Chains A and B, each alone.
Chain A
């Protein structure tokens, strides 16, 4: 299995807030050791490796994870806690999961 993490650099040159948060959590949990490759999606450069990967898989969120298993179709994960549970087989806290869902989906405010 190969796992690629794609992080976003915004137009102003800074790392996107969520990418920063996710990376921090992953470092604290020792999960970065399980990532095989980290690519940058630089919004200032559509040809950057991360932007090309996002375009290839039609991903519109960052960060995201590309999981490649031999003989299987590649999987894209844009929800961090689901990636942790389903790919890394590690536990997550429900309150963190719910907050991530709300943060990623501001449209849910109007339910």
Chain B
């Protein structure tokens, strides 16, 4: 086990009181080998914040599932040029994609669900990338997925992607921000953004699995809309545990 493992539970309490910029600053100071996960959407705010804090330490990667919108590819390129940074675009294993497509076709997610496709096109390459870093930063927010019991801490010990007998720390600096706060930041700082947002897209993922949402619709309704909303039931309710 890593000797210098952080006490993420206590740190989460402290960092939750801080701004996303302060959280990113802490992350960049604490870790040398740390990368920002950039989806090509409003999480560009993270890159802008990190760049302003320490441009030398901005390491960014994007997961190219092979099914992104043309606008998203254009936007990733725009961000690379705007900040003058390298973006490590990582791809799924060709053999795994080939096997799935050969056996189930190009749109199996409409018949089954999105999980098999996402696990091959997104989670596999994400895991390979995360094996090379000590910490990572995401744009995940609590308000992205209402109705689930999943809480998004500001900092967490990422056991799912950690190297064997080692630790991986995950930062979610925007966890406590709303979509509106992220957009206020993007507008007030003239941060470049994906052209799809001007076409009614709020949440942006792969092209076949993303659609614009209307007024009053939650952003989750723009993703995998053909699937019934399900609640995860694997959590042990903290309320009960703490009694």
Chain A residues with a Cβ under 8 A of chain B: 8, 10, 16-19, 41, 43, 46, 51, 54-55, 58-62, 78-79, 82, 85-86, 94-95, 98-99, 101-111
Contact = CB atoms under 8 A, between A and B. Distances in A.
Given A79-B160, A111-B140, 14 more contacts: A8-B236, A10-B233, A43-B237, A51-B240, A55-B242, A78-B159, A101-B161, A102-B115, A102-B118, A103-B234, A104-B160, A104-B234, A108-B118, A111-B138
Contact of A61 (B116, B119, B165, B234): B234
> Which secondary structure characterizes the binding site on chain A?
helix
Contact of B123 (A46, A60, A108): A108
Contact of A99 (B115, B152, B205, B235): B115
Report the 10 A-B pairs with minimum CB-CB distance, sorted nearest first: A98-B119, A46-B243, A18-B234, A98-B123, A55-B241, A101-B160, A110-B144, A102-B119, A99-B119, A46-B240
A60 B235 contact: yes
A79 to B, nearest CB: 6
B232 A106 contact: yes
Interface of B: 9, 37, 39, 63, 96, 114-116, 118-120, 122-124, 126-127, 138-141, 144-145, 148, 150, 152, 159-161, 164-165, 203, 205, 223-224, 232-238, 240-243
A86 B160 contact: no
A106 B145 contact: yes
A79 B127 CA distance: 14
Contacts, number: 108
Contacts of A106: 145, 148, 150, 232
Nearest to A78: B159
A10 B235 CA distance: 10
9 contacts: A10-B233, A17-B234, A51-B236, A51-B240, A54-B241, A62-B235, A86-B164, A107-B145, A109-B224
A54 B232 CA distance: 18
A17 to B, nearest CB: 6
Contacts of A99: 115-116, 119
A58 B242 CA distance: 9
Contacts of B235: 60-62
A59 B150 contact: no
Contacts of B203: 110
B148 A62 contact: no
Contact of A43 (B39, B139, B152, B236): B236
B120 A101 contact: no
B122 A108 contact: yes
Given A8-B236, A109-B145, A94 B126 contact: no
Given A46-B240, A79-B159, A103 B115 contact: yes
A10 B232 CA distance: 12
Given A60-B241, A107-B140, A101 B236 contact: no
A3 B82 CA distance: 53
A45 to B, nearest CB: 9
A98 B160 contact: no
